[in-house]
Amino acid sequence: MVGIVLVSHSFELAHGLAALASQVAGSEVRVEPAGGGPDGTLGTTGDVVWNAISRAECGQGVVVLADLGSSVLTVRHLLEEGRSNGHVRLVDAPFVEGAIAAAVMSSAGQDLDEVARAAEDARGASKF
């Protein structure tokens, strides 16, 4: 299955969303949180993000969602460093809806392209 990584400035936000996505999609999907700066501050940490990507990877690629601003920059920096093998994709998607859509598509056995598209398509979804 495609792994999902959730990058947030907040430890709690990343972990809470990972728990929600896992509950909806099922625990068989690897949804890995990467939130917070050093010592519990708000921020993003390259090593934390990279470790989450490594945990999420199980051979079929990883979709990464970021909450805002410098979360995106942190992920981009990692990918530009060439640490990625090319199967890690940062998607431009709403954080909560994108994570849920991606996790469900992954749990349904869809490939990296389909999972990434579901996350990005979440931008147009109405809540009710």
Binding site for another protein (CB under 8 A): 23-26, 97, 100-101, 104-105, 107-110, 118, 121-122, 125-128
Rg of the chain over CA atoms, in angstroms?
A: 13
Choice between 69 and 109, CB closer to another protein: 109
Choice between 20 and 79, CB closer to another protein: 20
Find the shortest distance in angstroms from Cβ 119 to another protein.
10
Q: According to DSSP H, which parts of 1-128 are helical?
A: 11-25, 46-56, 70-80, 95-107, 112-121
Find the shortest distance in angstroms from Cβ 48 to another protein.
28
How far are the Cα atoms of 9, 27, 43, 46, 71 from residue 23, in angstroms, in the given order?
A: 22, 7, 26, 27, 24
* Cα separation, 58 vs 119, whole angstroms: 19
Choice between 83 and 123, CB closer to another protein: 123
Find the shortest distance in angstroms from Cβ 120 to another protein.
12
